[in-house]
Structure 1
Amino acid sequence: MEAQPLTVLVVGATGTIGRLVVAEATARGHTVRALVRDRTKGAQLLPADAELVVGDVTRPETLPEAVAGDAIVLTLGSFGTGASSPQTVDYAGVRNVLTALASLDGARPRVALMTSIGATTRSSSYGHPLEWKRRSERLVRASGLTYTIVRPGWFDMNGPDEHQMVFLQGDRRRSGGPADGCVARADIARVPVAALTSPEAVGCTFELVAEQGAAPSDLRPLFAALDQDPPGSLDAVRDEANMPLDAESGPRGRWSRRRPA
């Protein structure tokens, strides 16, 4: 049975993955709302049938009117410095969206968050900026919302015949390079959109890479083979316990197990 169409908000909609998520969600019959900072730029980059919603994840006051919908796909990516640092975009951007949702009575959208393979490493291979993506995952798990978290490998460095998706758990590939796994951007975009209507994807966190073979037409068997994250845990199933909660702090003090700061 086909899932009912949703109203899907895409956050990071003008990015290289976000644009493909908008196209994928539209192709699946969903009503797509695209969060953009600049309406003119958004209109140039996105299809005409996407509703453009002006807002900025680094400006919380712009978000409450933008975040309405049945589902949200977060594909945020920082540039590494200043106002677009991992802390301000990859982490605080997710926090600001979730805070805006909490301000809306009864808002319980399904959430799909894209982070990165290697998010749990503490070594210099990937660098500490990915720790902010891990913290954003913890925010989503602590929110109480229905979620799926996707950690893709290296974008578009797969071979032309490598589209067979592989879902991994435990985040143990840590070379800091393409040897950890690669996957096409178009294949990445399919996964969070499919997760929004797949019961099998609820509460799952996984790494996404591609191997030789054709892209699967149905992702539900891949979702069904995953283990869910432990109820009440801020970390994913089989993740290494190498970022102690009692050593984490934020602008409002120590992290709470219910709502990280």
Structure 2
Amino acid sequence: MATHPLTVLVVGATGSIGRLVVAEAIARGHTVRALVRDRAKATQLLPADAELVTGDVTRPETLPDAVAGANAIVLTLGSFGTGSSSPETVDYAGVRNVLTALASLDRARPRVALMTSVGATTRSSGYGHLLEWKRRSERLVRASGLTYTIVRPGWFDLNGPDEHRLVFLQGDRRRSGGPADGTVARADIARVLVAALTAPEAAARTFELMTEQGSAPSDLGPLFAALDQDPPGSVDAVRDEANMPLADEPQRVRDDLEAVRARAAA
């Protein structure tokens, strides 16, 4: 159980990871608020203990009420890949819109755990621009001035039944584009995201998450503590390859980043 229970907003709450985050946070004694677009669907998918709040990350006007009063936010956004659910509109702009909603509230300083993906710094992949938009969402979170942890999980649920020993890596050098980059159970991802909300050692850490043969540790603090923090003031993670210069980014992306930085400095 959590020593200091939080009010945790889960964004992406009805997704395959988000549902597990909701359950994990409740099991740890936190009050959980789930951002959902379809309340009827969410009622079927989420525990009765979760508070449902209707909103949509692509509709910024629906977000201030959702973020108000949250001590922590877990972002597990994932787009369908096209149309109104594209990597830019959901994986990236969804994070931007949540941060903007927070800025509209006085003294709102929740802790943030963002899930992106192993290979986030890969510039050429079979996923089009998905990974680039996820990396841009990371940059917004780092620039926000909030206490954060960014988790880049490997391939979901392709681990063996005896592979639950958590492995945290940095530098994002596994780029095969397949399970060889690392695998991890969805439940283990949820556990790490929720644990990061209350672990002082997890602050300002970005890491790749996968599992190997062995049992899951009971205390994640030493794993977080063994990681290097991201450089203060940097929008990129420690040891990430410098292969995405800000000067080459689309103007709208640079404008978003500057707006987030300005709010953090205000």
The correspondence of residues 37-186 of structure 1 with structure 2, limited to 5 A, is 37-68=37-68, 69-186=70-187
> What is the match of residue 232 of structure 1?
233
Distance of 2:204 and 2:79 partners within structure 1: 25
Distance of 2:257 and 2:177 partners within structure 1: 31
> What is the match of residue 218 of structure 2?
217
Distance of 1:10 and 1:29 partners within structure 2: 15
Coordinate RMSD, CA, aligned? 1.6
Does structure 1 retain, via aligned residues, the 8 Å contact 2:87–2:129? no
Distance of 1:255 and 1:39 partners within structure 2: 31
Does structure 2 retain, via aligned residues, the 8 Å contact 1:246–1:255? no
Cα distance change on mapping 1:169 and 1:49 into 2, 3 Å: same
Does structure 1 retain, via aligned residues, the 8 Å contact 2:2–2:28? no
Identity over aligned residues, as a percent? 82
> What is the match of residue 31 of structure 1?
31
| Corresponding residue SS for 1:66 | helix
- Which is worse superposed, 95-104 or 245-254? 245-254
Distance of 1:250 and 1:21 partners within structure 2: 34
Letter in 1 for 2:56: D
Does structure 1 retain, via aligned residues, the 8 Å contact 2:14–2:42? yes
Greater percentage in helix: 2
Q: CA deviation at 1:250?
A: 3.8
Does structure 1 retain, via aligned residues, the 8 Å contact 2:163–2:211? yes
Letter in 2 for 1:46: L
> What is the match of residue 13 of structure 2?
13
Distance of 2:105 and 2:145 partners within structure 1: 14
Q: CA deviation at 1:38?
A: 1.0
Cα distance change on mapping 1:258 and 1:221 into 2, 3 Å: farther
Letter in 1 for 2:22: V
Distance of 2:171 and 2:77 partners within structure 1: 22
Does structure 2 retain, via aligned residues, the 8 Å contact 1:118–1:126? no
Distance of 2:3 and 2:52 partners within structure 1: 24
Does structure 2 retain, via aligned residues, the 8 Å contact 1:79–1:85? yes
Cα distance change on mapping 1:256 and 1:22 into 2, 3 Å: closer
Distance of 2:88 and 2:153 partners within structure 1: 19
| Corresponding residue SS for 1:132 | helix
Distance of 2:254 and 2:21 partners within structure 1: 35
Distance of 1:101 and 1:15 partners within structure 2: 22
Does structure 2 retain, via aligned residues, the 8 Å contact 1:163–1:215? yes
Cα distance change on mapping 1:153 and 1:38 into 2, 3 Å: same
> What is the match of residue 243 of structure 1?
244
| Corresponding residue SS for 1:84 | coil
Does structure 2 retain, via aligned residues, the 8 Å contact 1:157–1:182? yes
Q: Deviations over 1:137-175 (max 9, x none)?
A: 000001000000000000000111110000000000000
Distance of 1:19 and 1:2 partners within structure 2: 19
Q: Deviations over 1:79-137 (max 9, x none)?
A: 11111110000000000000000001110000000000000011235542110000000
Cα distance change on mapping 1:252 and 1:195 into 2, 3 Å: closer
Letter in 1 for 2:134: K
| Aligned pairs, number | 261
Letter in 1 for 2:229: Q
Q: Establish whether residue 204 from structure 1 lines up as the match of residue 205 from structure 2.
A: yes
Q: Deviations over 1:169-206 (max 9, x none)?
A: 00000000000000000000000100000000000000
Cα distance change on mapping 1:43 and 1:237 into 2, 3 Å: same
Q: CA deviation at 1:32?
A: 0.2
Q: CA deviation at 1:2?
A: 5.7
Calculate the TM-score normalised by the size of structure 2.
Answer: 0.95
Distance of 2:147 and 2:223 partners within structure 1: 18
Distance of 1:16 and 1:259 partners within structure 2: 29
Structure 1: unaligned runs, 5 residues or longer: none
Q: CA deviation at 1:248?
A: 1.0
